[in-house]
Each structure stands twice: as structure tokens, then as C-alpha cells.
Amino acid sequence: MIDFRALADKYKTPLYIYDLDYMNEQFNKLKEAFKGRKSIVAYAVKANSNLSVVQHFAKMGSGADCVSIGEVRRAFKAGIPAYKIIFSGVGKTDDEIREAIEKDILYINVESDAELGRVEMIAKELKKVSRISIRVNPNIDPKTHPYISTGLHDNKFGVDLNTAKRMYITANNSQHLDPVGIHFHIGSQLTELTPIRESAEIVADLVRSLSTIKIDLKFFDIGGGLGIKYDDETLIEPYEYAQAILGTLTALDLTILCEPGRFLTANAGYFVSKVLYEKQNGDKKFVVVDGAMNDLLRPSLYKAYHKIDVITKNDGEKRAVDIVGPVCESGDFFAKDYMLPELSHNDLVVINSAGAYGFGMGSNYNTRGRSAEVAVQNGEDRLIRRRETFDDLIALEEDYLD
Ligand code: LLP
């Protein structure tokens, strides 16, 4: 059990707290589900890119799924070996591609015909061979929030099957490209297995058809996306997930690569704010806390639901309140019409499921420093990122004053 009050007193608020032991449990569940098959769990660094968190996964033997060269550098710094690092993303720059090739990562996940050309050109300049995979867009509706759906032709990600096939042939004929993998990722917070199975089938069929023209791939990269419980969602069990995918791969000798982010970190994280005030506008009641949308954007951006606990001595009747932050935006809220008892100054509001896409999507809007981050492991807590100060925020501007 995490002692939120003690940690809030020690490190102040707003504060992110991560339970590293929970991350181990989740990681082991996935590894276990795919055992009996060669597999790499490549943690999606974007979900929570704190170096200590990435290092924690490195120690478990995790790889890293990265979407910028910054994330690739984080993965290296955290001790993830090059042969377990992959680099995806629709808009890689030449410099990013060059560095990824020089660093000899497992593969670059190519998302367009044009990008394949750039990778080939840069590999040629470097006199190297770049291992690549191609991200296939299977045109399957993942049945999740439209903003986090990625596997439809309407979405910017990946390429259609015919283009993919053409690109594999080009890559196979190139002296500077080595097509080793195939990739799909249809969306995030997935709670239905059918779209995943259907996508895997489509992609596995492409692998078979490539094999008939002597293009034999080694890695079947199933992306991330496994959903978690924010509220009362019915979840896909890792075992069923693995079985659904493995079932499409009969007679294919492929290493599975999966790229979970949220599954590993979301429910390991809590965002803790302090109550500043309660206020009432007409019939509407608000609880104003010291954390804001710049710390945790998901409710504002996606109307995402996060379960909220409060730490208070009050045990009065609950009433519906909006929990809001100090930022000058009406969209700055963590929950609307949430049932909470009356709260007093300095009571704590603990936002659950904040370990993925929480801190990382934060900003300095309204010149607010980012919160501190704390890790808890085996009952011990330690600071893994200090709170940003005003000096941190202006550090890059100061030199330009008249
Ligand atoms: N692999 C690829 C290629 C991805 O695009 C993503 C997430 C992942 C893996 C990891 O997905 P996960 O296992 O975490 O679902 N900001 C949004 C989520 C954006 C996900 C983007 N891509 C949110 O707060 O819900």
C-alpha cells in the first residue's frame, strides 16, 4: 500500500508516484503469455519515458519501442541493448534515421514508401545495411477512442497491403536494406480481441505470401495497445491475446515482438494533488486542486475517465463536484460530476491509472513547472525526477533578454 499522505508531505504536490513492483507483475504476465515462443517485449517508451522507469524495464530484460531519436537515446541510456530497440513513427527526419542506423538498432519500422527511399539513401551514404520492418495498416477498426485508433486507412499510420508488398520487394532488392520484420498496431486501449486477431491474420497472410517469393521475415511485431482498467472495462487476458496471435502463425517461425506501454505502466501510476479550495458557482460545485491539465492532460484531451480517491478526514455525504486545476482554460478538469465528500484545504486527491501518458504528455503551460516523479519499490520511495523550478522554465530564454 502506498502512503500517499506521507509521500505528499515528503515530496510536495502535485506529484507523480509509480509502483515499480506493479510494472514487474505486468511485464511478467506478458512474458509468460508468450512463453514457448521466441518473444521480445519492447516497452513503448512514450507511455512513461522517465529514465528510471525505462531502466527498470531494461533490468527485466525488456526491449524498447521508440518514436523519436530522443526516445532511442533514452533507451540506450537506460541500458536497453541495441538489438532490442526499434524505431517507429510516420515522420522520422534524416538525422534521426542516420543516428538509428549508426546505432545499429534492431530495426527501423518504416511507415511509407517515401521513407523507405530515405532510409536506403542514408544507409548507402553510411555504407551500411539498415534492418527494416514495414508497418502495415490492416484497415481494421479497433473499436477504441478515435484519437487513439491507428489501424484504419483514415489514420496516418503505416501502409496498405499492396504498398507493403511492393516495398518489401524493393527492400529485398536493395544492397542497403534488410527487411527483417513486419509490424502492425491498430490502436491503443484495446478491449476487444477480434480486431487484433483479424489484423494478425491479414498480416500473417502477407508474411506467407512474401515467403513464396523468398522474402523470409524474422520478426512479427504486433504493436502495443492492450487495454487496462480505468473504470469497469472487460479486459483481454494476456494469455488469450497471445493465443489469438499465435493461432495465426501456424507454420511460420517468427519471433514475436510486442510493444506494450499502457498495460505495463498505467495502473502503476498515481497523480496526487492537494486540495486548495472548494467553490460554488450557482448550483455547480468545484474542488480546485494544485495539479492541472498541464500535468495530466488525458481528461481534457480525450474526456478520459480516471478513478479518483481522496484522502481526507471528512466522511460526510458525497455530492457531485468538478475537480479542476488552476490553469486558465475551462478544459482544465480531471473529472466532472464526480461524487466526493466535502474536502478541506490540504486534503489529497489521488488520480489513478496515471502511469501511462501522464507526465509525458505534460507541458509548462501557464509557466507551471512539471511535477516531481517518485518511484516506490519494495516499500522504499525515491525521487526519480525533481520538481521543475522557475529557473528551469526560463533557462533557455534568459540569454536572449535585451
Ligand atoms: N506501438 C506503437 C506503434 C504505438 O503507436 C503505440 C502507442 C504503442 C506501441 C503503445 O501503445 P499502448 O500499449 O500504450 O496502448 N496518448 C494516448 C495514447 C496514444 C498511444 C499512441 N501509440 C492516451 O493517453 O491514451
Helix (H) or strand (E) holding 178: strand 177-183
Helices (H), 153-232: 161-173, 193-212
| Angle, vertex CA 352, rays to CA 349 and CA 357, nearest 5 | 115
Q: How far is CA 27 from CA 232, 356, 377, in A?
A: 22, 14, 15
Query: What's the distance, Cα to Cα, between the start and end of the chain in Å?
Result: 52
- Res 395 pLDDT > 90: yes
Cell triple for residue 185?
498496431
Ligand 1: residue whose CA is nearest its atom 6: 224
Contact 297, 369 (CB under 8 A): no
CA dihedral sign, ordered 239, 196, 157, 37: positive
pLDDT confidence of residue 148: 65
State the pLDDT at residue 4.
Answer: 98
The Cα–Cα gap between 104 and 179 comes to 14
**Residue range 173-178: mean pLDDT, rounded:** 98
Find out whether the peptide bond into 195 is cis, omega within 30 degrees of 0. no
Q: Whose CA is nearest to atom 24 of ligand 1?
A: 357
pTM of the model: 0.97
Which residue out of 114, 328, 396, 401 is catalytically annotated? 328
Instruction: Assign 162 a pLDDT band (cuts: 50, 70, 90).
Output: very high
Task: Give the Cα separation of 88 and 261 in Å (integer).
Answer: 14
User: What is the residue whose three cell numbers read 473504470?
Assistant: 231
| Residue 391 clears pLDDT 70, i.e. is over it | yes
Closest ligand 1 atom to residue 150 Cα is 5
158 has pLDDT over 90:
no
Residue 380 alpha carbon to ligand 1 centre in Å: 29
Secondary structure element (H or E) that encloses residue 336, with its range: strand 333-340
Has 328 been annotated as catalytic?
Answer: yes
**C-alpha distances out from residue 97 to 51, 164, 332, Å:** 22, 19, 37
Q: Which residue has the higher pLDDT, 154 or 372?
A: 372
- Answer whether residue 359 shows pLDDT above 70: yes
Average pLDDT over the chain, rounded to an integer:
96
> What's 293-318 look like in SS3?
CCCCCHHHHHCCCCCEEEECCCCCCC
Counting ligand 1 atoms within 8 A of each CB, the residue from 111, 222, 259, 263 with the most, and so the one to mutate, is 259
For residue 142, the model assigns a pLDDT of 79
179-224: per-residue pLDDT in tens? 999 999 999 999 999 999 999 999 999 999 999 999 999 999 999 9
Atom 23 of ligand 1, residue of closest alpha carbon: 357
Domains defined for the chain, CATH in brackets? 4-15+267-398 (2.40.37.10), 34-260 (3.20.20.10)
Which residues' Cβ are closer than 6 Å to ligand 1? 44, 47, 65, 88, 148, 150, 185, 188-189, 223-226, 259-263, 298, 356-357
